[in-house]
Amino acid sequence: MKLLILGGTLYLGRHTVEAALARGHQLTLFNRGQTNPELFPNVERRVGNRDGNLKALERKTWDAVIDPSGYFPRVVRQGCELLKDSVGHYTFISSINAYADSTKPGITEDDELAKLPENSPEEVNGETYGPYKVLSEQEVLSHFPGRSAVVRAGLIYGPNDATDRSGYWPLRIAEGGDVLAPGSPDRPVQIIDVRDLAEWLVLMAEKRTAGVFNGTGPETPLTMGGYLDTCREVANSQVRFIWMDEAFLLEQKVGPYSEMPLWVPEQFNAFETVNVSRAVAAGLKYRRLKDTIQDTLAWARAEVQKTKDPRKLGVKIPPAMARSREAELLAAWRERASV
């Protein structure tokens, strides 16, 4: 299969390239040539910019395109208009943030979608990210009717994460001692191994699968306690978890997802119980959580050797919680308990 990937050198795109190469496909990468340009030296590259400079994609055809890098409908529309007659199938990676109701358990693909607030700037923030993904989905579905797949991805986890989210917990637990654990151990958590998602995206391109799918996991329910216990098992650590309630964390202005990876306030719990049955029926498979964490820990340790800072594994800010900040919170929690 001749496959075009828009991006292809950062995290999900990178793993998608690896999955496609492993299956023997002929690839073309289209990007600005700025992020990890040393990757995949034997793969065809076309340099340009999705916003206004698509010349490198003219007068060429592909069986399918995978798009993990579309954020704004205006920009996605440009690519769709150019490629609609030269590409057989389009897979667009959206987000579970596309859903309007963050409180409804078991969200399905047919639930109401988020709407863009009036006068929103063309920038990604907490209010615009989901709605802009929705509008981008609509561009793809309208330009490629019956021959496009929209994947609403959850928290993507694993090696080469461009944020601190994947590496934080395995590294912290491997260090040992008392560890701040957020919320309740019974709180649901959903993550998907980046390699499982990438392999499935390639499979859907091969099969020309059409429709909308929730791309998160695992297939069976996972809790925060179960996740942290698996990290402890993989790291062979004697760590002790100090569970802090959500009210305290919010009072201390702990940042969900970024500063405290995998923790979100209860009002967003619906995004941790998303229904994935349609994706599983379409071929999405999951490796063992233990294997995901083991590989992530090995990658994160190697990255720390390069950076000498466990909070700077990726390219994005803000970083995950500093050890000094964790120590302050542990001390405050114990002081409160002693009063």
The average pLDDT across 101-118 equals 94
pLDDT at 309: 59
* Residue 209, pLDDT score: 98
* Whole-number pLDDT of residue 316: 47
Are 329 and 323 spatial neighbours (Cβ–Cβ below 8 Å)? Answer: no
- The pLDDT-based confidence of 339 (bands split at 50, 70, 90) is low
Is the pLDDT at 311 greater than 70? The verdict is: no
Average pLDDT over residues 173-190: 96
189 pLDDT above the threshold of 90: yes
Q: Considering the domain boundaries, does residue 273 fall inside one? A: no
pLDDT reading at 71 higher than 60: yes
Cα gap 95→219, rounded to integer Å? 18
Are residues 125 and 182 located together in one domain of the fold? no
Residue pLDDT, tens place only, 137-170? 999 999 999 999 999 999 999 999 988 899 999 9
What are the pLDDT digits (tens) for 235-282? 999 999 999 999 999 999 999 988 999 998 887 778 899 999 999 999
Q: Print burial letters for 248-283: b (CB count within 10 Å at least 16), e (below 16).
A: ebeeeebebebbbbbbbeeeebbbbebbbebbbebe
pLDDT beyond 70 at 313: no
Pair 227, 177: CB distance under 8 Å: no
Question: Does the residue 277 lie in any domain?
Answer: no
Is pLDDT above 60 for 7?
yes
Query: In terms of domains, do 63 and 23 share one?
Result: yes
Q: Are residues 194 and 235 in the same domain?
A: no
Q: How confident is the model at residue 126 (pLDDT cuts 50, 70, 90)?
A: confident
Same domain, 139 and 206: yes
User: Could you tell me the CATH number of the domain that includes residue 154?
Assistant: 3.40.50.720
Question: What residue numbers bound the domain in which 330 lies?
Answer: 165-189+221-268+289-338
pLDDT of residue 319: 82
Which pLDDT does position 306 carry in this prediction?
Answer: 81
Instruction: Indicate the range of 144-153, 190-199, 302-311 predicted with least confidence.
Output: 302-311
- Report if residue 280 sits inside a domain: no
Domain assignment present for 293: yes
Same domain, 21 and 122: yes
Q: Check residue 269 and give its pLDDT.
A: 79
Do 232 and 184 share a domain, yes or no? yes
Q: Which two tokens stand for residue 219?
A: 């297939």
259 and 334 housed in the same domain: yes
Q: Which two tokens stand for residue 230?
A: 């698996």
Is beta strand 2-6 parallel, antiparallel or unpaired with respect to 87-95? unpaired
Whether 279 is in a domain gets the answer: no
- Tell me, rounded to whole angstroms, the distance of Cα 151 from its chain centroid: 11
**pLDDT score, position 48:** 97
> In the β-sheet with 2-6, what is the strand arrangement from edge to edge?
44-47, 26-31, 2-6, 62-67, 87-95, 148-153, 211-215
Q: 117 and 15: one domain?
A: yes
312 pLDDT tier (thresholds 50, 70, 90): low
Whole-structure pTM value: 0.95
Domains identified in the chain, total number: 2
Residue 17 has pLDDT above 90, yes or no: yes
Whole-number pLDDT of residue 150: 98
How far apart CA 195 and CA 14 sit, in angstroms, is: 10
In this prediction, residue 315 carries a pLDDT of: 45
